[in-house]
Amino acid sequence: MTNAAVPRYLALIPAAGVGARMAAGSPKQYLPIGGKPMLRHTLDAFLSSPRIAHTYVVVSADDPFIDSIVPGQGVTVLRCGGATRMESIRNGLRALHGSVALNDWVLVHDAARPGLDAELIERLVVETGEHPVGGLLALPVVDTVKRAVAGEVATVSRDGLWLAQTPQMFRYQLLCRALDAATDPSAITDDASAVEALGLAPRLVEGHPRNLKVTLPADIRIAELYLAAFSQHTDNGQNR
């Protein structure tokens, strides 16, 4: 594997989770959001971006749902999902070995963030630029933060605090190295934390509240409201 003269931007979506907190009859990434499976919203976001050369989705080996929602072109299904998000990403990266360049950018995105769109992808790519580490979408903390431990409550300064979102974008070689070096899975809560464990600092690019992660049943309605508002805004812009 060699460095490509012009690096590509590739999307990698780990989607092997079962979504236990949703208490639904199927994994949460397949639940309908505004009449369309949640994961399909995510796939469509990357397919709508001219920056993305190809999209890969990692699912479990026996996933019975994925084939019915994946479009015919632009997406490859990797049936190598693991027991954890990090394991699924590792397996996906290994499956890509030999077909991607060391300096290709990999945008890892949560399947349960259906509010992503081409505009946010473009912002991440442009503002990360040629940063030597990479970048991720995130939101600056605006609310007052409290810490409660053993019944004691204290206010924590929100200065410099951000809420991480996805995509998180790193070079293929660096992301592989960071995840392979992660010996404590509990300490790696996202891809950026694995990179940070190497002593590196990625760039934070401001995202958007609509790019929320659907975790609990109530989040579905919130996501639908954001998507409906965004769709209306897009339609109005096209009709001007």
Domain assignment present for residue 116? The answer is yes
- Structural domain of residue 160, as residue ranges? 9-238
The mean per-residue pLDDT over the stretch 173-192 comes to 91
Domain assignment present for residue 28? The answer is yes
Omega of the bond prior to 32 within 30 degrees of 0, cis?
A: no
Domain assignment present for residue 164? The answer is yes
pTM above 0.75, yes or no: yes
pLDDT in tens, 13-39: 999 976 545 545 678 899 999 999 999
The CA distance from 108 to 207, in Å, is: 15
User: Which tokens in the block code for residue 147?
Assistant: 């810490």
DSSP result, 29-58? GGSEETTEEHHHHHHHHHHT-TTEEEEEEE
3-state secondary structure of 135: strand
Name the pLDDT band for 229 (thresholds 50, 70, 90): confident
CATH number, residue 138? 3.90.550.10
Domain tally for the chain?
1
The CA distance from 25 to 14, in Å, is: 20
Domain assignment present for residue 1? The answer is no
Domain assignment present for residue 4? The answer is no
